[in-house]
Amino acid sequence: MRRLLRVLKFVAIAILILAIVSFLVMRLWNWLTPALFGWHVITFWQAAGILVLSKILFGGFRGRRGPHMHWRRRIMQRWTEMTPEEREKFRQSMHGRCGRSGAPSTVPNVNA
């Protein structure tokens, strides 16, 4: 029962947020685009459609960052804790795996 109430609460809040943002998009569109570009005025439902379309096309409205950000932060922390000798050894090992022969190292210098 509690789970159902939580889901209903989430759905209600999502609908409320969508309604508010759609209203804001409609007002901004109707305020700016007819005066600037001579475009037509849109309705509330057209503004909601623009939001959904932008979500589909551009993947907006994202929340937290993915796990790749944690991985990157951890690698950068390890890099800062390495001695210059360890960094050079790491560069050489990565050069053999990823780099072309004779290519300069592309590992960033975080101490600069």
Are the beta carbons of 47 and 26 closer than 8 angstroms? yes
**Is 0.75 surpassed by the pTM of this model?**
no
Q: Domain coordinates of the chain in residue numbers?
A: 2-58
Query: One digit per residue, pLDDT tens: the chain, 112 residues?
Result: 889 999 999 999 999 999 999 999 999 999 999 999 999 999 999 999 998 898 888 876 565 556 556 777 888 888 889 999 988 988 888 877 775 555 555 555 656 5
Whole-number Å distance between alpha carbons of 67 and 81: 22
Whole-number Å distance between alpha carbons of 78 and 24: 45
Percent helix, percent strand, percent coil in the chain, to nearest 5? 70, 0, 30
Are the beta carbons of 91 and 107 closer than 8 angstroms? yes
